[in-house]
Structure 1
Amino acid sequence: MLIRIAMAGTLLATVPAVPAAAAEPAPGRLVSRAPLARKLWLPGTGRAYQVKYWTKDVRGRAAVSTGAVFLPKGRAPRGGWPVVSWAHGTVGVGDSCAPTRAGRSARDIKYLRRWIAQGYAIVATDYQGLGTKGVHPYGDGRTEARNVIDMVRAGRRTTAALSRKWVVIGQSQGGHAALFTASTAARYAPELDYRGAVATGAPSNIELIAPYAGPIVPDLGLDGLVTYFAYFLAGLRASHPSLRVDRYLTPAGVKAVDAAERLCYDAMHERVSGLSIGAMLARDLNVPAFSAAIRSAIEVPLDGYGAPFYVAHGVLDTDVPLPLTYKLVADLRARHRPVTFKAYPGADHSANMFASLPDTLPFVRRLLR
Structure 2
Amino acid sequence: MKRQVLTCTLLTLSVALTACNDDSDNDRFYESKPAIPVNNIDNPVVATPVAYTQTDFSGIADESVIMTYKMLGINGKETQATALVFTPEGTPPATGWPIVAWAHGTTGVADQCAPSRKALNDYIKAMIGGFLQAGYIVVAPDYEGLGEPSGKELHPFLNLKSEAYSITDAVVAARNYLGSQASNQWVAVGHSQGGQAALGAAQYAARASKMTYKGTVALAPASNFNLILTGGEQQAGQETNLDKKIGTLASLDTFTALIVAGLRNPNPNLQYSQIFKTPTDEIAKNAETDCYDVLGQKFGTAMYAYAQSNNNSVNNYPRTQTNFMNIPVVKSFLEKDSQPLLVKVSTPVIIYQGSADSTVPKAATDVLVALANQKQTSVRYITDESNATKWDHGSVYALNIPNIISDVKSLMPIQ
TM-score if structure 2 supplies the norm length? 0.76
- Indicate yes or no: 2:318 matched with 1:302: no
Q: Looking at CA atoms only, which structure, 1 or 2, has the larger radius of gyration?
A: 1
CA distance in 1, matches of 2:257, 2:235: 17
Indicate which of 318, 321, 342 corresponds to 1:282.
Answer: 321
Which residue is equivalent to 1:29?
44
Post-superposition CA distance 1:299-346 (Å, at most 9, x none): 223324121011101110011111010111112223331211111251
Give, in angstroms, the shift of residue 208 of structure 1: 4.3
Q: Provide the C-alpha distance between the structure 2 equivalents of 1:181 and 1:104, rounded to a whole number of angstroms.
A: 22
Q: Does 1:350 align with 2:398?
A: no
Separation in structure 1 between the aligned mates of residue 378 and residue 228 of structure 2, nearest angstrom? 26
Structure 1 unaligned segments of length 5 or more: list them: 1-23
Considering fraction of residues, name the structure with more strand: 1
Match in the other structure for 2:309? none
2:331 paired with 1:291:
yes
CA contact (8 A) 2:52 2:84 kept: no
Q: Is the 8 A contact 1:211 1:287 kept in 2?
A: no
Instruction: Give how far 1:288 is off.
Output: 5.1
CA distance in 2, matches of 1:27, 1:230: 36
Paired residue secondary structure (1:239): coil
CA distance in 1, matches of 2:126, 2:235: 40
Partners of 2:54 and 2:117 within 8 A in 1: no
Q: Residue type matched to 1:164 in 2?
A: N
1:338 and 1:78 mapped to 2: Cα distance?
A: 32
Q: Which letter maps to 2:399? A: A
Q: What is aligned with 1:106?
A: 122
Matched residues in 1 for 2:153 and 2:83: separation? 16
Give 2:139's match in structure 1, choosing from 111, 123, 133: 123
Do 1:318 and 1:348's aligned partners in 2 also have CA atoms closer than 8 Å?
yes
Contact preservation (8 Å) 1:93, 1:130 = yes
1:32 aligned partner, one-letter code: A
Structure 1 window deviating more from structure 2 (129-138 vs 281-290): it is 281-290
- TM-superposed CA distance for 1:54, in Å, is 0.8
Look up the match of 2:68.
52
Q: Which amino acid aligns with 2:290?
A: L
Secondary structure at the counterpart of residue 190 of structure 2: strand
1:231, CA displacement in angstroms? Answer: 1.2
* 2:247 corresponds to 1:232: no
CA RMSD of the aligned region, Å?
A: 2.7
- How far is the alpha carbon of 1:350 from its aligned partner? 0.7
The aligned counterpart of 1:254 is: 281
Change in CA separation of 1:106 and 1:265 when aligned onto 2, cut-off 3 Å: farther
Q: How far apart in 2 are the matches of 1:220 and 1:270? A: 10
> What is the rounded CA distance, in whole Å, between the counterparts of 1:312 and 1:293 in structure 2?
24
Query: 1:149 offset after TM fit, Å?
Result: 0.7
Partners of 2:159 and 2:184 in 1: how far apart?
Answer: 26
CA deviations 1:73-95 (Å, max 9, x no partner) are 11112211110011111111111
- Equivalents in 2 of 1:265, 1:124: separation in Å? 20
Does residue 90 (structure 1) correspond to residue 106 (structure 2)? The answer is yes
Aligned counterpart, 2:28:
none
User: What is the aligned partner in structure 2 of residue 364 from structure 1?
Assistant: 408
Q: Does structure 1 residue 313 correspond to structure 2 residue 346?
A: no
The whole-number CA distance in structure 2 between the counterparts of 1:158 and 1:363 is 27
Question: Following TM superposition, by how much is the alpha carbon of 1:100 offset from its aligned partner in structure 2, in angstroms?
Answer: 1.7
1:39 matches 2:54:
yes
Question: Are residues 214 and 28 of structure 1, via their aligned partners in 2, closer, same or farther at CA, if it must alter by over 3 Å?
Answer: farther
Query: C-alpha displacement at 1:244, in angstroms?
Result: 3.4
Q: Which amino acid aligns with 2:84?
A: A
Answer whether contact 2:272 2:285 (CA < 8 A) is retained.
Answer: no
- The CA distance in 2 between the partners of 1:366 and 1:142, in whole Å, is 27
2:192 paired with 1:176: no
- What is the one-letter code of the residue matched to 2:54? K
State how many pairs are aligned: 345
Change (3 A) 1:270 1:286: closer
Which of 190, 200, 208 is equivalent to 1:189?
A: 208
Alignment of 1:188-207 (within 5 A): 188-207=207-226
1:135 alignment partner in structure 2: 154
Change (3 A) 1:217 1:50: same
Partner amino acid for 1:363?
Answer: D
Q: Tell me which amino acid in the other structure corresponds to 1:95.
A: D
Deviation at 1:254, TM superposition (A): 1.6
Match of residue 14 from structure 1? none
Aligned match for 1:146, one of 151, 154, 165: 165
Distance 1:237 1:101 in 2: 23
* TM-score normalised by structure 1 residue count: 0.85
Whether the aligned pair in 2 keeps the contact of 1:71 and 1:121 (CA below 8 Å) is: yes
> Do the aligned residues in 2 keep the contact of 1:57 with 1:128 (CA within 8 Å)?
yes
1:32-57 CA-partner distances (Å, limit 9, x unpaired)? 22231333443611112221111122
- Tell me, in whole angstroms, the C-alpha distance in 2 between the residues paired with 1:54 and 1:305: 26
What is the Cα deviation at residue 359 of structure 1? 3.3
Contact 1:46 1:74 in 2 (8 A): yes
Which secondary structure state, in structure 2, belongs to the residue aligned with residue 312 of structure 1?
strand
Question: Could you tell me the percent identity over the aligned residues?
Answer: 28
